[in-house]
Amino acid sequence: MSEEPSDSAASLAERAYRDLRRAIVRGEFEAGARLRVEDLTRRFAVSSSPIREALNRLSGQGLVRMLENRGFRVAPLTAEGVSDLARVRQLVECEALRDAIAHGDDAWEAQAVAAAHALALAERRMGQEARPLDDDWSARHRAFHMSLYAACTSPLLLDLADVLFDNAERYRRWAARHRTQPRRKHDEHQQLLGAVVARDAAKAVALLQTHISRTEQLVAAALHGIGTADRQ
């Protein structure tokens, strides 16, 4: 019978996973870059076992590619990839939103309103700066979207929404460095919040679909403009 991992080992594995996931999402590793276990152990100050576990988990989430007998690489960023991601996000996140609106209580609604207000405060403070590259804005943006889904009764949908959002965040951050078209999401977020507070599921889902599609279009335009962010 195999032994259960100790609390300290599990904690180290979780920390390695979260730190590596955050670094990839923030674009600290180039798309397609080789992820060498020995380099990562030095960078994150953990042993190879937690790093390998993190790489395997991230491979299952689409952020890392496992190459047969060749280790791991950061997943590429491609127009086809962002299109597929947007399609799946619409399926998962729209269903999570629909379910949350159907089951959410007053506390859920208040949390969504508070998250939207926190995001608006950050946007007001930043003015015209490139928001997707600001860690505070990104955290509040993520918190707002996740707050909308928080009342969803399906843990699996919520887990999928969480993973898909981080995949999209990686694309957003990359596009923010390369696109020429500005985008101000404040109005989109406020309209989405208004539909959610009104418990208008049909309108909220339609707005979320459009919101996700606009992200896809801007990222695809940036990718087509300079070629895919891929490295073989």
List pLDDT tens digits, range 161-184.
999 999 999 999 998 887 655 566
Per-domain boundaries in the chain: 7-74, 79-226
Q: What is the pLDDT of residues 16-46, one digit of tens each?
A: 999 999 999 999 999 999 999 999 999 999 9
The closest alpha carbon to 178, from 226, 138, 215, belongs to: 226
Query: Which CATH fold topology does 79-226 show?
Result: Four Helix Bundle (Hemerythrin (Met), subunit A) (1.20.120)
Cα dist from 56 to 22, 29, 77, whole Å:
15, 17, 19
d(CA 98, CA 148): 10
Tell me the pTM: 0.86
Burial 98-123 (b: 16+ CB within 10 A, else e): bbbbeebeeebbebbeebbebbbebb
d(CA 132, CA 171): 10
3-state secondary structure of 12: helix
Give, in words, the CATH class of 7-74.
mainly alpha
d(CA 214, CA 90): 12
Beta strands at 64-67 and 71-74: parallel, antiparallel or unpaired: antiparallel
The pLDDT assigned to 130 comes to 57
d(CA 68, CA 88): 26
Q: Are 218 and 181 contacting, i.e. CB atoms less than 8 angstroms apart?
A: yes
Low-confidence ranges of the chain (pLDDT < 70): 1-7, 9, 128-132, 179-184, 226-232
